[in-house]
Structure 1
Amino acid sequence: MSHSNTVEFVTNGGWDERILVFRNAPLVDTFAIISARYVVVVDTMINAVTAEKVWERIRPYLVNGRSLLVVNTHADYDHSWGNQFFAAMGVPIIGRRVSVPIFSEPDSTAFLQRVQTDEPDIFAQVVLTPPTILYDEQLTIDGGDLTLQLLATPGHTVDHAALYIPEINTLLAADAAELPYPMARTPAGLPAMRQSLAKLAAINAATVLYCHAPTDIGAQLLHDNIAYFDKLEAACRAALARGVSANPPEDADLLALVGLAYETAVPPTAIWQNVHEYYRTHGHAAQLRAMLASTAAVQ
């Protein structure tokens, strides 16, 4: 997938007007929350250029004593590679403590080097910049009129966090849920990811916004993601009972082996059925492989 420095301001679709949504299409949505005390940027796009475009849009709100804060939901490139722009201004960047080592891991630096070679116009100037204010499981930001509750929701990544605002019953789920599904980095992360989905669904938020889903999809996506993984688990348990290996060969046809096509694992509506081919085939197969391993590990 190629990237761009385009940032679009997303028209409010009925959520609280103090939440602004920005889109680096077709990759990711990020957010800003305008509270009485703070302007809080939630994730920083893919580089300093896109981060600066968010800054330009929120700058008029930095009046009446408001301070600027940044929150990273996790260390993935499309959520944190704009950190350097805000760090250069001395803006505090809040993230989970477990995220800090990720910025210097060999896999992270190798990925940066690869995309800098492939797309220098986008990534050449990126400097991996970790958060500067750290928390473990939860952190509360008292914005005066709004309370921002940062909640650890591991699974997609070990450092993932979501953000809940009780005064307006609004949840920013980040990548804990996605259309058509979130993906755990490893099979070991799959149970935690499902627990995080259940944790967020139990909040019963009236408004839920995501980084990789339409803004109007609502809280139902949490329940649909839960149902997807429940169907995968049931199919994988049945496959294991038939003698299917918990670790099939790399060239195995996982969809045929387990007997669960993508089309039957998700809702029958167009928004689910018309996703990119990757999610219907290779991505779904990767989910089945992870579920086989995860299910076998606890049997």
Structure 2
Amino acid sequence: MSHTNELQLIENQGWDERILVCRNGKLVDTFIVVTERFVVLVDTVINPQTAVQMLDYARPHLANGRQLLVVNTHADYDHCWGNQLFAGETAVQPAPIIGSHLSPPKFQQEEAAAYLAKMKELEPEVFGEVVFTPPTLLIQDKFVINGGDLTLELLPTPGHTDDHYSLFIPEIATLLAADAAEMPYPMARTPDGLPAMRESLAKLAALPAETVLYCHAPVTAGRQLLLDNIAYFNAIEAACRAAQALPPELSDDVDVLTLVDCPWETAVPDTEAWQNVHNYYKTSGHAEQIRAMLHCLARE
């Protein structure tokens, strides 16, 4: 997909007014949380151009002694490639960037450098100025930001990636799930991450959240999406267990959608939104989830 340098502020549709939702095209939503003590940017989008727009949306709230904080939910490009605006030699508005202790090594991987080079070549107008900038305040386990009126609980929710965090704000019963849940489903970076991802989904579903916002789902999805994601993986597990005669590792050319009786239509809600998702999620993506489940079940 092509990318855009535009970042749109989404009209509030019923969530607490201290949360601002910013949208980068069809790719990702990011969030600004305004508390008595801090203005917290949750992720920095895809480049300095989008990050500066996010900062511009936040600036009017940087008054009355409020300090700027940045949180990286994880180290994927659509969540942290705007970090350079807040740390390092290119910083325009220096601020602590809070992120997992597992994130910095990801910026040093050869695959990451190769991916950035590829993106710069394909879309220089979007990614040409990106400078890898890891988080600067590294955390492990649960971390709490005391904002005065609001408490931001940063909760480890590994699975999609091992460095993933979600945020829960108990005073307003609001969960920022990030990529721990998605429409139509989150994807673990490796098959071994699937069990952790399902545990994270269960952990988030158990929270007393009345408002749930995601980085890759409509703002109207609500907490029901957590339950639908859980039900989707439960359906895949049941189908894979029923197909016990299958070998645990299947080559890429094996049609698992035929071998495992779990058609997309029966694994998700029978609604227009779910049945009309991009065809990839119904076919190749769905098959990849089935392969990951078979991999995990074989190791029980």
TM-score higher than 0.5: yes
Describe how 1:198-237 pairs up with structure 2 within 5 A.
198-237=202-241
Q: Does residue 119 of the first structure (1) align with residue 128 of the second (2)?
A: no
Instruction: Check the 8 A contact 2:187/2:289 in 1, yes or no.
Output: yes
Alignment correspondent of 2:81: 81
More helix by share: 1
CA distance, structure 2, for counterparts of residue 204 and residue 59 of structure 1? 31
> In the TM superposition, what are the counterparts of 1:125-274 in structure 2 within 5 Å?
125-239=129-243, 241=244, 243-274=245-276
Separation in 2, partners of 1:99, 1:42: 15
Aligned to 2:284: 282
What does the per-residue CA deviation read over 1:26-65, in whole Å, with 9 as the maximum and x for residues that have no partner? 0000000000000000000000000001111110110000
Residue pair 2:37, 2:67 contacting (<8 A) in 1 also: yes
2:50 is the alignment partner of 1:46? no
Cα separation, 2, equivalents of 1:86 and 1:270: 41
Identity over aligned residues, as a percent?
60
Cα separation, 1, equivalents of 2:67 and 2:112: 31
Q: Which amino acid aligns with 1:74?
A: H
Indicate the residue corresponding to 1:292 in structure 2. 294
Give the counterpart letter for 2:43 in structure 1.
D
Give the Å deviation of 1:70: 0.2
1:50-85 superposed Cα distances (whole Å, 9 cap, x missing partner): 000111111011000000000000000000000001
* Partner Cα separation in structure 2 for residue 233 and residue 282 of structure 1: 17
Q: Which moved more, 1:82-91 or 1:188-197?
A: 82-91
Aligned 8 A contact 2:48 2:130 in 1: yes
* 1:105 equivalenced with 2:133 (yes/no): no
- 2:126 aligned partner, one-letter code: I
Q: Over residues 196-224 of structure 1, what are the superposed CA-to-partner deviations in whole Å (9 max), with x where a residue is unaligned?
A: 00000000300000000000110000000
Residue 123 of structure 1: how far off its partner (Å): 0.5
Contact 2:101 2:139 in 1 (8 A): yes
Whole-angstrom distance in 1 between the partners of 2:271 and 2:7: 29
Q: TM-score, normalised by structure 2?
A: 0.98
Long gaps (5+) in structure 1: none
Which amino acid in the other structure matches residue 160 of structure 1? H
Amino acid at match of 2:4: S
Contact in 1 for aligned 2:161/2:193 (Cα 8 Å) = yes
CA distance in 2, matches of 1:24, 1:288: 30
* 2: CA distance, partners of 1:292 / 1:2: 33
SS in 1 for 2:236: helix
Structure 2: unaligned runs, 5 residues or longer: none
Match of 2:102, SS? helix
Question: What is the match of residue 99 of structure 2?
Answer: 95
Letter paired with 1:83: N
Q: 2:75 aligns to what SS in structure 1?
A: coil
Distance in 2 between the 1:112 and 1:210 partners?
25
The answer to whether the aligner puts 1:23 opposite 2:23 as a matched pair is yes
Question: How do 1:30-41 residues align onto structure 2 when only pairs under 5 Å count?
Answer: 30-41=30-41
TM-score (norm 1): 0.98
Question: Which sits farther off after the overlay, 112-121 or 34-43?
Answer: 112-121
Distance in 2 (CA, whole Å) between partners of 1:238 and 1:25 is 41
Alpha-carbon separation, structure 1, partners of 2:144 and 2:157: 15
